[in-house]
A and B are shown apart, each in its own frame.
Chain A
Amino acid sequence: MDKKMCDQLLDYYNGILSVEEKTAFESHLKECLACQEELAEWNELTEELPYLSDEIEPPAGMKDRILTNVFESGQPGEREEINRLAIPLDIDSVKSEKPKKKNGWLSGLLAAGLLLSLGTNAYLYVQNEKNEQVIEDQIGKTYKSVQLASENADSAGMASMIQENEKMNLVVQTHSMSQVKGKEVYQVWLIEGDKKYRAGTFIPDEKGNGAVVFPVTYPGEHKWDAVAISHEPTKDSKQPKGTIVMASNL
């Protein structure tokens, strides 16, 4: 019995060990009966502790969001295929640049949305070319322009970052979006790592067309990773509460 190894059991239990330490401990665990028994004891001693949690009602729409993301993530074993399809769309390079900034809220839809967009790109492209022309004539330099992957196959949108003198504007245009009810709105978000910044709010017209020009004035340097539009219960969401309907990496 390796006393030093045995002493790491609790930190192993709490997931604190580094990858190497963990591997070493696990091979020790296979050999060490005392540690096996002790681990079982800790599991047993803590088994009821989760039930100390106060009952909290999950946020509205959580079930839909989660199950949609889970099911859209693919069937078990389909992961390989999803990755392969996503490579041309650069989602892998985005991921490998920022492995630590996993964004659960977004990643499911980005992956799924981008897949979906494969089918509609050609159509969107024609539309977007026209839009870009207009924008360039009117305002100046288009810094970056992306098509938004849409959750709903009928609706489409694009986002452009436009530099005007020293100012950066985000222009988002959409069409054929579902109507909003009551106080609901569509909210645009700029995403940097884990953080989401509000970037304009709009309500589509009766044809589902909507647009917003948002001056990007968040202080400090930003490297925006993505832009997303979510369907929000009110115009006051400081952070996204609703489901994302369109998104794209920037």
Chain B
Amino acid sequence: MGRISDNELYQLVQEENKEALEQLYDRYEKLLFSFSYKILKQKELSEEAVQDVFMKLWRKKGIYAEHKGKFSSWLLTVTRNVCIDLLRKQTKNQVELMEKDMDIERTESLEETVTWNEERKVLKEAVNQLTIEQQEIVDLFYFKGYSQADIADKQKLPLGTVKGRIRLALKHLRNTYSKGGGKFG
């Protein structure tokens, strides 16, 4: 059975096809939830983030177009933006949310679900090659969405050097990653 591409599914979503949105959902649920959880560290909020993303996909016509890059990359960028927004609101309101005993159910692993086990292993090895400072700066910048000024403050760096440091860390990561058999290149 030929696999329908993300872009084709998105086109169908544009035509208000619910099954197409459901298929995209099945494909990306786990990746988007896991990514949201990495940023938010809270399951209820992560669910809210995933819902926001699919709400946008469904409601905002033409939100994605091919010139915006690969669908999956675009979707992950949208997810990150939503999460970082939620993260900031959460810090601001100091919302206290109880979490610990949320039920986790093994869902049936569908063939259609995006998995990224291999990629993660190689990426994690690459991260381990970075210095602790580099790992921290990537985390503050990408997963916590800090401003340059806050990163400078936290890492005790002159403001003007922050961008260079982040870029260096990410390039380093990328080089190690592509040598380790990652998708780059």
A binding-site residues for B, Cβ under 8 Å: 10-11, 14-16, 43, 45-60, 62-63, 65-67, 69-71, 73-77, 79, 100, 104-105, 108, 193-195, 233, 236, 238-239, 241
Contacts and interface: CB of A to CB of B under 8 A. Distances in A.
Contacts of B124: 52
Dominant SS at the B interface? helix
Contacts of B31: 50, 53
Contact of A59 (B25, B59, B104): B104
A126 to B, nearest CB: 36
A57 B102 CA distance: 11
Interface residues of B, number: 79
Contact of B142 (A46, A63, A69): A46
Contacts of A193: 93
Contacts, number: 163
B33 A58 contact: yes
Contacts of A233: 103
Contacts of A55: 30, 34, 115-117, 120
A70 B61 contact: no
Best-buried of A53, A60, A63, A104 by chain B (most CB within 10 Å) = A53
Interface of B: 14, 16, 18, 21-22, 25-26, 29-31, 33-35, 37-38, 43-44, 46-48, 50-52, 54-55, 58-61, 69, 73, 76-77, 79-81, 84-85, 89, 93, 95-99, 101-107, 115-117, 119-120, 123-124, 127, 138, 141-143, 145-148, 162-163, 166-167, 170-171, 174, 177, 182-184
B30 A58 contact: yes
B145 A71 contact: no
27 contacts: A10-B148, A10-B163, A11-B147, A11-B148, A14-B141, A48-B123, A48-B184, A49-B143, A50-B80, A52-B124, A53-B35, A55-B30, A57-B30, A57-B105, A57-B106, A62-B33, A65-B51, A69-B55, A70-B58, A71-B18, A73-B55, A100-B89, A104-B47, A105-B48, A193-B93, A195-B96, A239-B44
